[in-house]
Structure 1
Amino acid sequence: MSEIEVTENGTVASVKPGDEIVLRLPESATTGYQWMVDSIAGPIDVVSSDVSHTSSRPGAASERVVRLRAAGPGTAAARLALSRAWETEPVERFEVRLDVQAN
């Protein structure tokens, strides 16, 4: 198992079953805007979605760290949306596509 870090929207990556894909997205939770997993397609699972703070100061920048795991061979995609809970349309989207190779 290996870990692949993705920080660019639209990334297409080749991975193997069991690999963990880590998405790191800047987030300012104090503004109400948070990244949420919008959709998952294909052989991948969401392992976790956590906020990592770069500083303990109020209002400091943070990042959303989403961990995905390739579950089996095939084509997969994950789409995340940046929005506030009370809004219906996101202000930004982030997508990653995966080609999960057989072992």
Structure 2
Amino acid sequence: MIRIHRAFPLLALPLFAACSSAPPSSVLLENQARCPQQLAQGQMLILRLPSNPSTGYRWELLNTPDALRSLGPEVYSSPDKVDMVGAAGHSTWRFQATAAGKGSLRLAYQRPWEPEPIEHFECRLEVR
């Protein structure tokens, strides 16, 4: 029994190290209160903002930092209640942190035919 007790710390050490050092594989960003945001290279950033395209308003991506690569176009998802025509939902973008660097992710919420947006989203990002 004494030999088992002495070996336990050596066997458990890799488990504890793995739990404490790895960043999450993705970061969900839903508002500017979580900004500025730091990411590790290889990490995915998921940006999810409230949206209602049935009103004519859309989020327009104005600036993406060079350290991020887009993983596809905006995806709109409506609420679970499909019987509510015109109900608001969410627009989601996915980015991969590919290189070290700093910059701002900027979007504007507006109708294409109106000169000014009604809302802005800006988040300073740093990829390490």
Q: In which range does the TM-score fall when normalised by the shorter chain?
A: 0.7 to 0.9
- Structure richer in strand, relative to its length: 1
Offset of residue 7 of structure 1: 1.2
Distance in 1 of aligned mates of 2:42 and 2:103: 14
Structure 2, gaps ≥5 residues long: 1-23
Out of 90, 99, 103, the position equivalent to 2:126 is 99
Structure 1 residue runs of 4 or more that deviate by more than 3 Å after TM superposition: none
Distance in 1 of aligned mates of 2:114 and 2:95: 26
- TM-score for the superposition, normalised by structure 2: 0.72
Equivalent in the alignment of 1:50 = 75
- TM-score for the superposition, normalised by structure 1: 0.87
The share of aligned pairs that are identical, in percent, is 31
Relative contact order higher in (CA < 8 Å, ≥ 6 apart): 1
Distance in 2 of aligned mates of 1:3 and 1:75: 18
- Contact 1:44 / 1:76 at 8 angstroms: preserved in 2? no
Structure 1, gaps ≥5 residues long: none
Deviation readout 1:26-53 (Å, 9 max, x if unpaired): 1111110111211123311222311011
- Structural mapping, 1:41-80, within 5 Å: 41-48=65-72, 49-54=74-79, 55-56=81-82, 57-80=84-107
Q: CA RMSD in A?
A: 1.5
Which of the pair has more CA radius of gyration?
2
- Structure richer in helix, relative to its length: 2
Q: Counterpart of 1:47 in structure 2: which amino acid?
A: L
Offset of residue 76 of structure 1: 2.6
Equivalent in the alignment of 2:38 = 14
Query: Number of matched residues?
Result: 101
Offset of residue 9 of structure 1: 1.6
